[in-house]
A and B are shown apart, each in its own frame.
Chain A
Amino acid sequence: MSIFDEYRNTLTRRHFCQQGTHLLGGAALASLMASGKPLTAATVGDAAKEHPAHIASRAKHVIYLHMVGGPSQMDLYDYKPVMQEWFDKDLPESIRMGQRLTTMTSGQKRFPIAPSKYKFAQHGECGMWMSEMLPYTAKMADDMVFIRSMNTEAINHEPAISYMQTGNQNTGRPCLGSWTSYGLGSLNEDLPTFVVLVAKPSNQEQVQAISARLWGSGYLPGEHAGVSFRSGPDPILYINNPPGVPKDIRRKTLDGLKALNELTYQQLGDPETNTRIQQYELAYRMQASVPDLVDLKDETENTEKLYGPDIHKPGSFAHTVLLARRMVERGVRFVQIYHNNWDHHGNLVGRMKDQTRDVDQPCYGLVQDLKARGLLDDTLVIWGGEFGRTIYSQGGVSKENYGRDHHPRCFTMWMAGGGSKGGTIYGETDDFSYNIVKDPVHIRDFHATVLHLLGFDPEAFTYKFQGLDQRLIGVEAAHVIPALIA
């Protein structure tokens, strides 16, 4: 560690100062520090603009809606009309091409094709085909960028989610949210920079595991870990004073504590004592900010019209995306939302209606609300799962119902806002929604594109760990996809 790092660690407030040097040139930071001005988000932002590695960018915030389990692309976004003629016929070997299968279906004797039972129609100027299950989302087709050619190598949930979130199938790397926190820092000291919310699906037939490791900071400094936000009385762990301790009593104890800690600092001269004094003040301000953030009483009737009635159900997807909008308004950088139960091995038709009812209107409400408030330009909304699903049915097949196994070779994601190019339909798959025939977008390409939208050169956005310049996009070639960018 250089002398420069020593100073950062000991003399300054860590919360803001462990910004990556890709943004803050050493010289820029040194001059800031020499100026004796306190580092604020604004000064960090200014410094960032000066640095050649920071490209002019639109996205200052991200709301990432991860659909845990892997939504079925051909029942929602990847229209495959030819499949109607293939009902219960076997998937041709020429299409499957030795694709490795999960051991859940690798023993299956047949791979009978299950055409989607849903009606599709074209929407918007862009003419995107969308399933009847998404009537609200369909209304904003021209705000959205559809990527129908996402692909991954992982075939099981744990490695696949990890890949999607951290760029690596093995656990322990920092996720996109941590990278964003590390790179862009905070806009509001009184709230966490990177927040995670786990929405409760209304149907829980086959909920998949997620893990707090997904929002760990990996090898990045610990303050870039996601802070879990919960529905219920304590949105952040331990945010509430104990019962019988009103705010002003807490203030009095903090005043006493501060005075005593200042004496300790005078006595011992440890800079960490000073940092601690500041962290307690920050905690106190956070206690004031969070109740205001989660109290929806200043929302109008229009909010309910936009997002739907579920905003009144704490923990529902609608409620969490509304909170996400409120967070972004207050300067939270990155909001990660998980919505579960998309792992439709069986009873896809029975469960899809619950899944789409949970997310369709709230997604629409979120994007439209951000737009109306002038926040959409700054805010990148991402929707998608960790892989797609197979055209063939797992278990039996009927025209009315079927199940689908995991499928890594293609799946659909969408983005809106944040400098992405609305009304774009990118990538194509074959008639079976099995292989990509045009414009593949690997996870690392997707990550590169998101980083680009956030203003980073994905190649240069690195963090030194074990002697190597570690990157979200990993070591293989990753490409920013210009067609997705406005």
Chain B
Amino acid sequence: MKWLAFTVAMVMGTSVIAEEPLQYNRDIRPILADMCFACHGPDSAARKADLRLDKRDMAMSSKAILPGDPAQSEVIRRILSNDADEMMPPPSTRKVLSAQQKATLQRWVKEGAEYQAHWSFIAPTRGELPVAKNAAWVRNPIDRFTLARMEAEGLAPAPEADKRTLARRLSLDLTGLPPSPELVENFVNDASPDAYEKLVDTFMKSPQWGEHRGRYWLDAARYADTHGIHFDNFREVWAYREWVINAYNRNLPFDQFTIEQLAGDLLPEATLDQKIASGFNRCNITTSEGGTIPEEYYVLYTRDRTETASLVWMGLTTGCAVCHDHKFDPVSQKEFYELAAFFNNTTQNAMDGNVKDTPPILTVPAVADRVRFGQMDGLIVAAKQAVEQRKQTGRSEFDRWLAEVKPETATVSLPESGLQFRLPLDEGQGDALKYFVPGETRETKLTKPVEWKPGQTGAKAINLNQGGPAEFATVGDFDKDQPFSCGAWVQLPANDGAGAIVARMDDGNDYRGWDLWVEGRRVGTHIIHKWQDDALKVVSKNQVKANEWAHVLVTYDGSMKAAGAKVYINGELQQTNVQADGLKNTTKTEVPFKLGQRHNTSPLPGVTINDVRVYDRALTDAEVAALAKTSRFAALLAKAAAERTPAENDELYQWWLTAKDQPYQTAVVDVQKLERELADIKARGTIAHIMNEKPEPAMAFVLFRGEYDKRRDQVAPATPAALPPFPAEIPKSRLGLAKWLLSPEHPLTARVTVNRSWQELFGQGLVRTAGDFGVAGELPSHPELLDWLAIDFREHQWDVKRFYKQLVMSATYRQSAVTTKDKLEKDPSNRLLSRGPRFRMDAEMVRDYALAASGLLVTKIGGPSVKPYQPDGVWEAVAMIGSNTRDYRADKGENLYRRSMYTFWKRSAPPASMDIFNAPAREVCTVRRERTNTPLQALVTLNDPQMVEAAKALAQKTIKDAKPTQAERIDFLARQLIARPLRAEEQVIVQQSLAELAAYYIAHPEDAKALLGVGEMAIDASMNPHELAAWTMLTNELMNLDEVLNK
């Protein structure tokens, strides 16, 4: 193929070169794709007149095209026609062929109407390296390709950038951070021939290498810290992020990197790390919206995984084939679902449950706990066996007890000790409620309308729809260290409502007090001095069934720890999610105890309630079970022995064990101790979201128009026919798919991958549409170079560090970014690589740059996500009440200064300052970020407290560390920020700014003080406030330099 001429034409915008024969890929396909293929292309459903123009034989057999004879070719007749009924494209499409396009198509038919396969579906080949004239410029093979091309275009490379610029460029490209001034000076002064290479190696060895490379990958993996839809609650998935960073740092070859992420769980003897890697396919958005039809979301999750894998490894927009055959690329709808079948076999539930640990998950214990963690399962099994054993051996004792027990004396005792308050709520009518406090029965008036429904502990039960109808001044007045229990029978409606069953809580005063709480039919409690810094909150992991009676109860042991608050549903102790765990001060409040809501807010609409009880002590498990099952046991015991069924006797036996049998209770406590220890180990570690395959073979359905409920044929996993065949010897699983992607015959994987790397360093890929290598994507600017890189990468065992090193060692990369008028005209967007890369840094780098240059950056690697400064209300504006990512509370201390890749990423409201700089929402896979230049970005770097504080820190460092003259200080500042001293004309401007700022802050000490109060960092006592303020604003000015914001 004559790549050169063809890409010249593409880049330069001229179309057909007159003297040369037309080429299908260059000249014809773009016209046909734009004008014809939508109706006469691969999509069989949209095809009109059964005519296909994307295949030569079909176009010929239908006589649409007669090679060599435009006059007899129907296509040509139609495009030239002026008859509205005949002309093509039809007027209704509003597509119009230009006269030149018509002439081109005519000429092509005349020349024989030759077709070509789409370039990216043909495996790359390694040709001869091009010969360039200026051989001295060439440093490695990359340069031969770029230089030959420049020479053909009459362009010359830019001179090599100066050493400071190179040091800064390398540092930013290899670590994502600016270089330290010392490192720059060392490099400048190192005259050895391998000084540059040594610098490259230094950067690649630093752990920041893995962070920086990983950061790009996380866009592709759509990594974020929340589920994405509806509640958009927290998802604990950072173990995967850490895996990515480590993978780059240990230079895991890209083939292994691919296999472990697509199929780590399917590897034989998969290690903990390999399973964590499979979390790539768990990063998609999920829902738990009440009312959701599961199948609809199963389909969406599978579709997302299929599209993501296609985009990341093959650069294909297979999503276009969800509803119909792809309009341009050889991916039929059936083939899409065959590809989807690989991902359609997971045990994951459609509903994420709004919990942070949606199964399948894996515990990732802290390193120190790993041995003990390995033993825990066995210990717990043994302890449970002891419980089971007692179940066997206790039966005879129980039988004796049951034989002797007299029905009239055998009433099951309900816990009475410590009962502070009981509210039956079974009146069924009237405007008053009776209630019991120790020694007294009282009555209170209803203050709001209520309804009555069939009851659980009485004939009727109260139903609330208009807020809390009653209050009780003296009930539940507990302090932070006072144990208590509170429970009730409830029936909850099938919605996502959140609110209080009962509460003594002053919501107008930072929510002081406590409540018995429901959110999304999960039960829990808040015990609060001040929400949420000084508070406990636990909520059950399980939901109460909708529209069924359930007994719910919480106990609190006064320990001021979340572990001291337990939740029971129907007498069973629940696993809980801890959402706040730091109670320190009093929880007493003057507001009354209220039924059905907190003092002012949080009613629980639609709830039906019976028998509210408050105890001033923590009930035991057995007591709670008794409460939940009382009526049942009383009824069973009241029956004559002969009338009881064996199942009922078993039920009674179970109750007897928990309530009356000491050995059983001891055995149960042993299990509980071990389970608590395990819980503690888990709490110290984290979890990983992993893939887990169902036992049955994978399959999928073709879905008519992509709609989940319009199933058509069932299909098995397979790959598109236009790509290399799937070898028979590898399994039709995600593991097999990964291996297929990595096979040497595969035309896309290596090309797409090296193109993305190129894009990271040069700002745009050799194929600029990094996510579309199909027919609708752009053609490569340097096709032979792309092929050479792809083969080189694969043949060097997919060695990632080696590959990047090769790129940065090239002369092409080392060019200065200086642009001339001539180059701007011939090569406006530097597609010909006739100058060095220069572009605005990504969002994370902008912030990290400021933190690093100012010395505030905390370089710790990995760990959970952090919450740096963010303006108030960004989360609250979009989040649901009850979402655990509704209140953004900035962290304190070092978490304010971590690298931006660790910033907590809430999908429905991504980090505000990064969002403005084109960071994606991470809802779907992104392989190419936009790069806009807007006024809102200027506002971030000028005014974000994070940036202002960084300016303050750097100003203070400058005053402290530089020699105490103005010139020395300015020089120090410049070296920190732009890795070079200022030129004379720049110094004049900077000095003038400084003089104006200094004069202002001397005259306005109160403004100096206000400015220096920005950010948590305290200023040094030795600082002169007006001087520091002036330098802070000067630093702020310089941190906004185009040169700082650009790589």
The chain A residues found within 8 Å of chain B, CB to CB, are 1-4, 6-7, 9-11, 14-15, 53, 100, 102-105, 107, 155-158, 170-172, 192, 198, 204-213, 216, 221-223, 227-228, 230, 232, 234, 236-246, 249-250, 252-257, 259-261, 263-265, 267-273, 275-277, 279-280, 282-283, 286-287, 345-347, 349-350, 394-396, 398, 400-401, 403, 405-406, 457, 459-460, 466-468
Assuming the contacts A208-B880, A267-B818, asked whether A253 and B1036 have C-beta atoms less than 8 A apart, the reply is yes
Q: A249-B996, A272-B1046 are in contact. List 8 more A-B contacts (CB 8 A).
A: A102-B291, A107-B547, A158-B289, A170-B300, A252-B997, A261-B1041, A268-B818, A350-B467
Most interface-central of A240, A257, A259, A265 (chain B CB within 10 A):
A257
Tell me whether A223 and B829 are in contact (CB under 8 A): no
Tell me whether B493 and A345 are in contact (CB under 8 A): yes
Choose from A4, A53, A256, A459 the contact partner of B990 (Cβ within 8 Å). Answer: A256
Tell me whether B921 and A213 are in contact (CB under 8 A): yes
Assuming the contacts A103-B291, A206-B495, A275-B933, asked whether A283 and B327 have C-beta atoms less than 8 A apart, the reply is no
Tell me whether A396 and B453 are in contact (CB under 8 A): yes
Q: In the complex, what's the smallest C-beta–C-beta distance from A170 to chain B, in angstroms?
A: 7
B964-1004 toward A: CB 8 Å interface, digit per residue (1/0)?
A: 00000000000000000001011001101100110010001
A2 CA / B13 CA spacing, docked (Å): 6
Tell me whether A347 and B465 are in contact (CB under 8 A): yes
Q: In the complex, what's the smallest C-beta–C-beta distance from A52 to chain B, in angstroms?
A: 10
A-B contact pairs, 17 of them (CB 8 A): A10-B824, A100-B293, A100-B709, A204-B601, A206-B495, A206-B881, A240-B943, A243-B1014, A249-B997, A252-B993, A253-B1033, A260-B986, A260-B990, A265-B1042, A267-B818, A283-B942, A467-B317
Top 6 closest pairs, chain A to chain B, by CB = A467-B776, A3-B13, A102-B291, A244-B1011, A244-B1010, A211-B908
A90 CA / B1009 CA spacing, docked (Å): 70
Tell me whether A271 and B824 are in contact (CB under 8 A): yes
Whether, in the assembled complex, B173 has its beta carbon less than 8 Å from a beta carbon of chain A, the answer is: no
Assuming the contacts A207-B881, A242-B943, asked whether A273 and B936 have C-beta atoms less than 8 A apart, the reply is no
Whether, in the assembled complex, B815 has its beta carbon less than 8 Å from a beta carbon of chain A, the answer is: no
Tell me whether B992 and A466 are in contact (CB under 8 A): no
Whether, in the assembled complex, B697 has its beta carbon less than 8 Å from a beta carbon of chain A, the answer is: no
Tell me whether B1011 and A242 are in contact (CB under 8 A): yes
Residues from 992 to 1030 in B contacting A, C-beta threshold 8 Å = 992-993, 996-997, 1000, 1004, 1006-1014, 1029
Contacts of B570 in A (CB 8 A): none
Contacts of B820 in A (CB 8 A): 269
Tell me whether B1010 and A243 are in contact (CB under 8 A): yes
Assuming the contacts A238-B940, A466-B320, asked whether A280 and B293 have C-beta atoms less than 8 A apart, the reply is no
Q: In the complex, what's the smallest C-beta–C-beta distance from A287 to chain B, in angstroms?
A: 8
Choose from B230, B871, B932, B945 the contact partner of A209 (Cβ within 8 Å). Answer: B230
Tell me whether A273 and B878 are in contact (CB under 8 A): no
A411 CA / B930 CA spacing, docked (Å): 38
A100 CA / B497 CA spacing, docked (Å): 22
Residue of A nearest to B921 (CB): A213
Tell me whether A346 and B317 are in contact (CB under 8 A): no
Assuming the contacts A257-B1040, A280-B938, A286-B935, asked whether A395 and B493 have C-beta atoms less than 8 A apart, the reply is yes
Contacts of B942 in A (CB 8 A): 238, 241, 250, 283
Q: In the complex, what's the smallest C-beta–C-beta distance from B1009 to chain A, in angstroms?
A: 7
Assuming the contacts A242-B1014, A279-B938, A403-B606, asked whether A257 and B1041 have C-beta atoms less than 8 A apart, the reply is yes
Tell me whether A269 and B819 are in contact (CB under 8 A): yes
Residue of B nearest to A351 (CB): B605
Residues from 855 to 874 in B contacting A, C-beta threshold 8 Å = 871-874
Tell me whether B467 and A252 are in contact (CB under 8 A): no
Tell me whether A212 and B289 are in contact (CB under 8 A): no
Contacts of A156 in B (CB 8 A): 289, 291-292
Residue of A nearest to B872 (CB): A232
Q: In the complex, what's the smallest C-beta–C-beta distance from B45 to chain A, in angstroms?
A: 11
Contacts of B997 in A (CB 8 A): 249, 252-253
Q: In the complex, what's the smallest C-beta–C-beta distance from B937 to chain A, in angstroms?
A: 7
A451 CA / B1009 CA spacing, docked (Å): 53
Assuming the contacts A10-B829, A270-B817, A467-B774, asked whether A276 and B933 have C-beta atoms less than 8 A apart, the reply is yes
Residue of B nearest to A52 (CB): B94
Q: In the complex, what's the smallest C-beta–C-beta distance from A326 to chain B, in angstroms?
A: 20
Residue of B nearest to A462 (CB): B94
Assuming the contacts A11-B828, A346-B495, A467-B775, asked whether A263 and B985 have C-beta atoms less than 8 A apart, the reply is yes
Contacts of A276 in B (CB 8 A): 933, 938, 1042, 1045
Contacts of B13 in A (CB 8 A): 2-4, 6
Whether, in the assembled complex, B392 has its beta carbon less than 8 Å from a beta carbon of chain A, the answer is: no
Tell me whether B907 and A211 are in contact (CB under 8 A): yes
Contacts of A228 in B (CB 8 A): 877
Contacts of B601 in A (CB 8 A): 204
A209 CA / B942 CA spacing, docked (Å): 32
Q: Which of B99-107, B418-426, B909-917 contacts A (4 or more CB under 8 A)?
A: B909-917
